[in-house]
């Protein structure tokens, strides 16, 4: 299960949940990939439980946990919701009830820019699109796993560069993979999964200090 940490940014001691301007939660994980990234600040808004609907993205506090979870409502019961991360294989095991204090995630802030988080009917469409993209990534990953050993003799050497807090892997003048300094791991660009796997890159190419450059064949 992927989660967000409850917290405030530097100098943000007051959280205005109604406007979401002065606080919020910082997101970590990958269950809502394509909707959120690690480091996004999520702005929750209190809503009556029965006003939340399928397709909404909510944050809630599971029983016995001190950390809130952010997932999308995919089903509604009489007094509960069924939730799932857009990038998770299956719905969450436990339903969400009013005791878990669910709040609507209305917006996110990324690099100082605030954008709306779609819910309801639009949110359901976003969910389906993200599920399809997850399926496509699985197909590409499976094909890459089968073809990678055959293409190993032909794959180019990579050069590792660290700039502005990010790791970059170059094949010649082309960026093959990107890694953030927050520990999210390498993200391969399209087509490069047939030559390398993310696990292999994480093992072979730890990100050096800013401005450093290393090569490896």
- pLDDT given for residue 16 in this prediction: 35
Q: What is the mean pLDDT of residues 9-23?
A: 36
> In this predicted model, what pLDDT tens digit does every residue of 37-48 receive, in sequence order?
888 999 999 999
- Residue 64 near residue 74 (C-beta atoms within 8 A): no
> pTM, whole model, 2 decimals?
0.64
64 Rama sector, left if φ>0, alpha if ψ -120 to 50, beta otherwise: left
C-alpha to C-alpha distance for 109 and 41, rounded to whole angstroms: 5
- Residue 14 near residue 20 (C-beta atoms within 8 A): no
Task: Name all domains of the chain by residue range, CATH numbers in brackets.
Answer: 4-129 (2.10.109.10), 155-216 (no CATH)
Report strand pairing: 41-45 vs 25-27: antiparallel
More confident residue, 36 or 3: 36
> In this predicted model, what pLDDT tens digit does every residue of 139-163 receive, in sequence order?
767 776 677 777 777 788 888 887 7
> In this predicted model, what pLDDT tens digit does every residue of 165-217 receive, in sequence order?
678 888 888 888 888 655 667 888 877 877 888 888 888 876 554 333 444 44
Q: What is the mean pLDDT of residues 40-65?
A: 93
> In this predicted model, what pLDDT tens digit does every residue of 75-134 receive, in sequence order?
998 899 999 999 898 999 999 999 999 999 999 999 889 999 999 999 999 999 999 888
Q: Confidence band (pLDDT; 50, 70, 90) for 73? A: very high
Token pair for 206? 């730890």
Token pair for 1? 């299960």
Rg of the Cα atoms in the chain = 20
Beta carbons within 10 angstroms of residue 50's beta carbon? 9
């Amino acid at each position: 299960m992927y989660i967000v940490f409850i917290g405030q940014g530097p100098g943000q001691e007051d959280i205005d949940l109604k406007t979401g301007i002065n606080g919020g939660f910082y997101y970590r994980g990958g269950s809502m990939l394509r909707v959120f990234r690690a480091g996004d600040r999520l702005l929750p808004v209190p809503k009556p439980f029965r006003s939340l609907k399928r397709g909404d993205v909510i944050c809630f506090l599971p029983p016995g946990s001190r950390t809130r979870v952010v997932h999308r409502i995919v089903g509604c019961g009489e007094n509960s919701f069924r939730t799932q991360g857009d990038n998770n294989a299956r719905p969450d095991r436990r339903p969400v009830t009013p005791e878990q204090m669910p709040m609507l995630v209305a917006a996110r802030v990324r690099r100082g820019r605030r954008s709306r988080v779609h819910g309801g009917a639009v949110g359901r469409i976003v969910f389906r699109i993200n599920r399809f993209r997850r399926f496509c990534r699985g197909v590409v990953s499976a094909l890459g796993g089968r073809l990678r050993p055959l293409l190993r003799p032909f794959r180019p050497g990579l050069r590792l560069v660290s700039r502005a807090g990010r790791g970059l892997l170059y094949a010649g003048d082309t960026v093959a993979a990107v890694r953030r300094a927050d520990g999210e791991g390498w993200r391969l660009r399209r087509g490069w999964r047939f030559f390398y796997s993310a696990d292999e890159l994480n093992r072979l190419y730890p990100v050096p200090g800013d401005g450093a450059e290393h090569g490896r064949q």
